């Protein structure tokens, strides 16, 4: 069986790095593309508490014969490592009977070196177990862990608590959806030394951490607020399947990763090369001044850790009379990064400064410019839904025609001096004018 038909041999090697790293091997790295002596990948494992190296030969072909296994056997024997070592050949195809016979011969009559053969079927099983989806050359990182979404009602009620005239206990049904968005965290170590005939002229020995959006092409770094949220909670994960079944969600979705691990690693290496490339001036042995551009290579950068995880993007909608209010945020348990908050914005002008007041008549949230006091019930009413009429030259606001009619009837029964009390600033102005005239 042949898998991943569209990949080249080098791409197949890069993919195997992703597979083995996810499978639990440590310090998984590709060897230089030339002069690898049959050692395509080197990695470390722990067996009964003892660490040993594994030398891997990758063959992206339909069938692997005895000569390739023999070559790997020699590569293990000549591998310069003081501890125990074993070999592995991994292929997208199958092995000949002679190749398998040679492995058994080495096991029983050889020098104690173990050689493992991994064929295409086994590779698919391993890939599925590690979370890599391999479909005819389409390589995609699959993650099964997410940061916790936390309680979905308390973030909404907290926002409404800042609004005047609304009781959170009276909030209607809060409908929340969760979209699990992929992110990748890469820990790197750049160790580069640049030398000339006069010795070392420049040294880089730095560790960097990248937080990257997993669904962008090309990869893009995550902005500061979300980056801080992720970095402070990197290991507070749970199973994605469990998070999707959490109470409070009416619907969930998962945004898929757009790249393999090797793609994210290549992006990080490129960023580090740009960051640490510098031009150094130095004086040679002949007392002549020189300039040298020092550019870290791929071999100068090691990936100490790559973590993939989902970040829940929660979108909660609350229906209050005629209005629906949306709160969208990235969540890690009780910690949140708010993306959009319609609760603390005036529905008329988007004013978001406090105080904001709720109009129980229509369900709107309003800034001070769009809220008034209802004349009959003495409760807040917004300028948009209120019925208005002028009394004593002053505009008054009412919930509806019934309240306006009730007040008009009561107003008409008043004596004139009491009618004028509906406009106290007018009365004060008249009194002031009379006083000024009297003084003249």
Of residues 102 and 128, more confidently modeled:
102
pLDDT at 5: 66
Residue 1 has pLDDT above 70, yes or no: no
pLDDT digits (tens, 9 = 90+) for 40-50: 999 999 888 88
Q: Identify the band that residue 132 occupies on the pLDDT scale cut at 50, 70 and 90.
A: low
CA 108 centroid distance within chain:
51
Peptide bond into 9 cis (omega under 30): no
DSSP secondary structure of 147-211 = -----SSHHHHHHHTTSBT--GGG--PEEEEEEEEEEEEEEEEEEEEEEETTEEEEEEEEEEEEE
The first and second tokens of residue 118, run together, are 């991994």
Contact 57, 75 (CB under 8 A): yes
Residue 35 has pLDDT above 70, yes or no: no
Buried b (16+ CB within 10 A) or exposed e, 159-170: bbeebeebeeee
**Which percentage of the chain shows pLDDT scores above 70?**
92
Distances (CA, A) of 329 to 2, 210, 336, 362, 438: 44, 22, 6, 26, 65
Which of 100-109, 161-170, 241-250, 285-294 shows the lowest mean pLDDT across its residues? 161-170
Average pLDDT score over the chain: 88
Residue 373 has pLDDT above 50, yes or no: yes
pLDDT at 136: 46
Contact 251, 177 (CB under 8 A): yes
Determine how many CB atoms are found less than 10 A away from the CB of residue 82: 6
Residue 36 has pLDDT above 60, yes or no: no
Residue 135 has pLDDT above 60, yes or no: no
pLDDT digits (tens, 9 = 90+) for 346-361: 999 999 887 999 999 9
Residue 272 has pLDDT above 60, yes or no: yes
Task: Return d(Cα 27, Cα 24) in angstroms, integer.
Answer: 10
Of residues 217 and 285, more confidently modeled:
285
56: helix, strand or coil: strand
Residue 422 has pLDDT above 80, yes or no: yes
Determine how many CB atoms are found less than 10 A away from the CB of residue 438: 7
Task: Return d(Cα 303, Cα 190) in angstroms, integer.
Answer: 9
Q: Which DSSP category does 255 fall into?
A: P
Task: Return d(Cα 31, Cα 299) in angstroms, integer.
Answer: 9
Task: Return d(Cα 352, Cα 95) in angstroms, integer.
Answer: 68
pLDDT digits (tens, 9 = 90+) for 174-224: 899 999 999 999 999 999 999 998 999 999 999 999 999 998 878 899 988
Q: Residue 49 region, left (φ>0) first, then alpha (ψ -120 to 50), else beta?
A: left
pLDDT digits (tens, 9 = 90+) for 140-178: 677 889 999 999 999 999 999 999 998 866 787 889 999
- Give the predicted TM-score (pTM) of the model: 0.68
Residue 286 has pLDDT above 50, yes or no: yes
In degrees and rounded to multiples of 5, residue 282 shows phi and psi of -150, 165
Determine how many CB atoms are found less than 10 A away from the CB of residue 259: 22
The first and second tokens of residue 144, run together, are 């099964």
Report the helix count and the strand count for the chain, using DSSP H and E: 11, 26
What dihedral angle (degrees, nearest 10) is formed by the CA atoms of 374, 379, 380, 381? -40
Mean pLDDT score, 68-97: 89
Residue 131 has pLDDT above 70, yes or no: no
């Amino acid at each position: 069986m042949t898998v991943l038909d569209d990949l080249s041999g080098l791409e197949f090697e890069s993919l195997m790095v992703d597979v083995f790293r996810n499978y639990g091997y440590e310090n998984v790295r590709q060897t230089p593309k030339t002069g690898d002596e049959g050692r395509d990948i080197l990695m470390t494992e722990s067996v009964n508490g003892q660490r040993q190296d594994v030398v891997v030969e990758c063959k992206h072909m339909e069938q692997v014969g005895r000569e390739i296994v023999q070559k790997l056997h020699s590569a293990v024997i000549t591998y310069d490592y003081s501890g125990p070592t074993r070999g592995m050949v991994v292929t997208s195809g199958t092995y000949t009977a002679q190749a398998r016979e040679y492995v058994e011969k080495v096991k029983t009559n050889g020098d104690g070196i173990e050689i493992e053969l991994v064929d295409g079927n086994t590779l698919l099983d391993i890939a599925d177990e590690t979370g890599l989806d391999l479909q005819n050359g389409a390589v995609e990182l699959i993650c099964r862990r997410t940061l916790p979404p936390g309680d979905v009602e308390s973030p909404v009620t907290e926002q409404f608590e800042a609004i005047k005239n609304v009781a959170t206990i009276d909030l209607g049904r809060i409908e929340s959806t969760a979209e699990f968005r992929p992110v990748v965290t890469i820990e790197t170590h750049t160790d580069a030394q640049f030398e000339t005939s006069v010795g070392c002229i420049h040294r880089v020995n730095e560790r960097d951490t990248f937080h990257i959006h997993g669904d962008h092409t090309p990869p893009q770094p995550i902005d500061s607020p979300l980056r801080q949220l992720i970095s402070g909670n990197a290991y507070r994960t749970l199973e994605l399947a469990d998070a999707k079944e959490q109470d409070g969600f009416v619907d969930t979705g998962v945004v898929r990763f757009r790249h393999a691990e090797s793609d994210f690693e290549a992006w990080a290496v490129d960023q580090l090369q740009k960051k640490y490339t510098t031009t150094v001036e130095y004086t040679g042995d002949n007392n002549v001044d020189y300039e040298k551009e020092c550019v870290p290579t791929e071999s100068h950068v090691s990936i100490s850790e790559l973590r993939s995880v989902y970040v829940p993007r929660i979108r909660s909608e609350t229906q209050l009379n005629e209005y629906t209010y949306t709160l969208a945020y990235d969540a890690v348990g009780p910690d949140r990064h708010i993306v959009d908050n319609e609760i603390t914005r005036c529905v008329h002008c988007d004013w978001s400064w406090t105080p904001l007041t709720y109009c129980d008549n229509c369900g709107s949230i309003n800034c001070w410019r769009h809220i008034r006091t209802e004349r009959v019930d003495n409760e807040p009413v917004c300028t948009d839904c209120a019925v208005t009429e002028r009394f004593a030259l002053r505009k008054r606001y009412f919930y509806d025609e019934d309240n306006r009619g009730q007040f008009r009837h009561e107003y008409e029964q008043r004596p004139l001096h009491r009618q004028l009390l509906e406009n106290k600033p007018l009365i004060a102005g008249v009194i002031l004018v009379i006083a000024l005239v009297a003084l003249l």
